[in-house]
Structure 1
């Protein structure tokens, strides 16, 4: 009998040392990676039996993982009731970036003095490691991207702002995964500028670094699309 093939699951990257502890968590990590690598294309119905076999899990933990991704806004139910990766159009992307520009700049300023210098240094080391990888590692990029933005979003001290920004980042990330993958590498230098500003404690520079980064993404999307 041929050996069952499973989707290779990489350890989580970024600022966490956690590893999947349950089958549903294992499936969640694998599916998240598949979305980020675009091996689960936007809009194509997910066939649960095939996916469960590919991942080497039963339907129950797979469905738990799918439901979690739906709750986070990464998946939606199609008219046929199958799960699909959610498509984000340019208009929604640009509008989401505009709201992020306002709230994320505010969150970054609010986080000044609330982030341990060691955490900023770790995030800087990770982003520099991403820059040095050839070929460019998309999963490592997204892990670093999440680490940097979550660093100041989580530290801002306002749970309403945190929840709104987490939701908006799912929307913009889905668009970038599908349509702006060639734009990912320049993000690293802008991320370093944000970290430098946070480390310095300069509120004006911190806000500007965040605004410049988000406007750069919007300008690039309009220019190429």
Structure 2
């Protein structure tokens, strides 16, 4: 029989997927009795899972004892992108100088131009995008940089926010980043990553400015 902590970890993983994929919507109240019954567990391991999700900033307190799914507004997304630009651009530049043959092979496998007439699989591309950005930060071999990336839960935010721009707009960006890294051109790799993330940030900034103008 699994212990409460083990059940809690399993529940955390399941609930995390539900939040990332929108099955638990932003702002939605967490009804603990319903979730516990749905998952076939008691309230004790569910509370373990909820506290793990709270630590990851995926849910937040509601009233005194409840929780709701955290909503990420456009202002927060801009702040997240500011952090990503600083960390991921630096990571790309570092990785260009110290990648291994195995890492080079992995980088080459991430993205490929679609064949003529073939549409990009959006969900598959979204998953690859998340893996690609995490890979660059993880493999740059700067432990402090990766620690900051993890402590800020940036990979979780990447998953939750999803694609800001469609694959047809970002594929070439990704290929340019890979090419610069494989050329061991740290300056070009850093510049390519910064350009890629800045263009996505600008989309959110324009959306935020439009909303502000609509309200004035």
Q: Which TM-score band applies after superposition, normalised by the shorter structure?
A: 0.7 to 0.9
Q: Take 1:27 and 1:130, find their aligned partners in 2: how far apart are those partners?
A: 37
Does residue 1:84 correspond to 2:68, yes or no? Answer: yes
**Separation in 2, partners of 1:58, 1:133:** 45
TM-score (norm 1): 0.72
Bigger drift between 66-75 and 167-176 goes to: 167-176
Is 1:205 the counterpart of 2:188? The answer is yes
| Alignment partner, residue 12 of structure 2 | 28
Contact 1:86 1:174 (8 Å CA) reproduced = no
Report the 3-state secondary structure (helix = DSSP H, G, I; strand = E; otherwise coil) of the residue aligned with 2:68: strand
Return the alpha-carbon distance in structure 2 between the equivalents of residues 133 and 54 of structure 1.
Answer: 37
Larger of the two Rg values belongs to structure: 2
1:102 aligns with 86
Return the alpha-carbon distance in structure 2 between the equivalents of residues 184 and 65 of structure 1: 33
| 1:211 CA displacement | 0.4
Between stretches 107-116 and 200-209, larger displacement belongs to 107-116
Question: Which runs of 5 or more residues in structure 2 are unaligned?
Answer: 1-5, 209-216
Following superposition, the deviation at residue 187 of structure 1 comes to 4.0
CA-to-aligned-CA distance 1:119-140 (integer Å, 9 cap, x gap): 4433553545999776632xx4
Equivalenced residues, count: 199
- Selected match of 2:43 from 59, 78, 84: 59
d(CA) in 1 for partners of 2:63, 2:159: 20
**For residue 221 of structure 1, what is the aligned residue in structure 2?**
204
1:170 shift after superposition: 5.0
Q: Which runs of 5+ in 1 are unaligned?
A: 1-21
